[in-house]
Structure 1
């Protein structure tokens, strides 16, 4: 053992000494125990050493911009970035991020930028802390994609309107509809370039 005297009280030698087995056991492992340990054989000059790496698990793993109801918001057709980050950890943990069936890797964090389409709505996103060398996966989190959809305007109903100017107080109804939007689209009426109606009409379709 090199460079660490605090560990001595937590060491124990086990094994069948009659056949030359000497196992070093360390109880209550701590980050300060990370160092190089040596084993020497008496009456020889042979020395074997091994580096001990103590893994400190991150305190948390989070996907950025997740709402309290576990949604990752985005807008259909506009680029969005999903990023997952581990809080702390030593050595820097590997991150495995799975989005739409594809996997992205990083150290301490991983992210992916893409342009979502309507069919991506509701898809799961998962993120995992991993120490691949020892097959240790201590933390996991997930959320799902929640998209805002663009409205589809169906046009005026009727699309052509005719009336006689000489008729006074003619009651005319013109309808404009949108479908497929989320949240419901806000609609305004303009006459030329001027806002004809200050009231916003919102309709879910």
Structure 2
């Protein structure tokens, strides 16, 4: 296991000790191969969450070996490190309702640690009190997925207003915006 912290540098070294002549060594990561003699280094300048649980392989080969010697390591992002939410998504392409019906829309936050909390605004006005949030779900990479649902009564004056769903935690926030379409009978 190799621990890294999102946003920091991670150095991976593959070293073959001994051998005459010195063995060729390689680091393999997602089809990319870095080669060296006796030692090779691979630097990830800014490790991202894409590397969480990724496997890196080290190989040593020489004419004296029938097949290369191999070992691998799995990268883990520190579980104590907080990760800001990814950009949340609405559960529908268009946000629309009839004037006589409550507007009901959900917003989903992925990839945060700790779980995100939500803030809802319509036309710049905070309407979060009209929302409910599901318990967080922990996914395979130890991050949280949370869904918030807003149920809000609108009238024709809300047509073309901007709705914003913001997911935030102790590290940061991300938001998504859509226009509301309110249909009404004249």
Class of the TM-score when normalised by the shorter of the 2 chains: 0.3 to 0.5
- State the TM-score, normalizing by the size of structure 2: 0.47
- Structure with larger RCO (C-alpha < 8 A, sep 6+): 2
Q: Which has the higher strand share?
A: 2
Structure index of larger Rg: 1
